[in-house]
Amino acid sequence: MEFRDNPSEASFRRVVSSFLDAEFPKEMGERPTEWGLFNGAGRATAGFVDFMRSWNKKLNARGWGAPAWPKEHGGGGLSVKEQFILSEEFAWRRAPRPGGIGHGWAGPTIMVYGTQEQKDRLLPRIISGEDMWCQLFSEPGAGSDLASLQTRAIRDGDDYVVNGQKIWTSGAHHADMGILIARTNPDAPKHRGISYFLVDMKTPGITVRPLVNMLNSHEFNEVYFEDARIPASSLLGEENRGWYLATTTLDFERSGIATSVAHQLIVKDLVKYAKEAPADESTLARNGSIRAELSDRAIEAQVEALVCYRIISMQERGQIPNREASIAKLFSSELDVRLAVTGMHIAGMYGQLNDRESPAAMGGRLPRFYMHSTTAPIGGGTSEIQRNIIAMRGLGLPRG
């Protein structure tokens, strides 16, 4: 990995930095609910929603709403290193970064496997922001073992009739479209009888019910399909080959590179609080064990950055980071938890007060970050799944 920018990359970094100087209000990066990977979206105010609409419009005008997409599809057509620079600069400013299920997962999967009609119809609506997407993968009995899913899609003339249930569907209550995997051949081995669909969430027979998490936020849902008729033209790729498309989608999901910056910023915030908090608020912060704990978190955030740099260097060479993406996801998810625990250790009892109570530590971010961090080792593939991928694909170990 070449850590230094070449002249062209340095020029692009200046362009991004100048854009952020001009367009991103500094106070937006200092909001009390904004910290690393958790931006308080579950409690977003009307003002924040309006800001995000304006912000996304500015990004799309430059092609930065989907920086990796080819320009012919409305994206930025950026190189791997340019995408890294864009994500890194946004992360350091704590600016909302390009992404989302439509931009990050659905769109790229459609580009790889979609018909020309599907690309022409769906991709422009993702870029414009007309369509928000959700991911209809997990089920109550098929989370970590996703290939055990039981939602059925039966061909009936020009439609598939879908029955079943999905769960933990983030953003389904806002989504216009969804990427769905369902079983189309129950007699085939479980990985070979699954198909991949692009679903209009307004289809009759689809019901979205909220799941309110322990932060009292409505971020994900359960989705029911009851004789929902989905046009056969919504099938992506070949029938019964959907598992292979789904793994492509999950590889896109696990290839994020900005989290190491977010974690470095959290370490920086924790150190600042430990130094500046009144003695009665951070007595623990002044003992040696907490200093050692903060040192460990700082080192781990740097290790995470190096893992991400390795992925970037592979992508620049045209290689696909499969087990490496799982290594990054595993390390990042579990570091999220360790950072939250360290924050609670530093703040002591004050860490239990939220931003509506006084005197809350660090603007009340700690209890929400602590609770939110528990989802990190689950979403996008559990830590156990990541370890299995690393063991089999990285170390060549047999299935257990």
**Active-site residue list:** 253
Contacts of 252 by beta carbon, 8 Å cutoff, 6+ apart: 104, 105, 108, 109
Give the pair of three-digit tokens for residue 286.
């002044």
Q: Hey, is 240 helix, strand or coil?
A: coil
Q: Which 8-state DSSP code applies to residue 349?
A: G
Among 136, 55, 131, 137, which Cα is nearest to 98's?
Answer: 55
Give the pair of three-digit tokens for residue 345.
């250790």
Tell me which residue has tokens 């959907």. 242
Helical pair 80-93 and 259-276, crossing angle rounded to 10 deg: 20
Helix (H) or strand (E) holding 169: strand 159-170
Sign, CA dihedral 19-21-23-25, equals positive
- What is the distance between the alpha carbons of residues 162 and 154, in angstroms, rounded to a whole number? 7
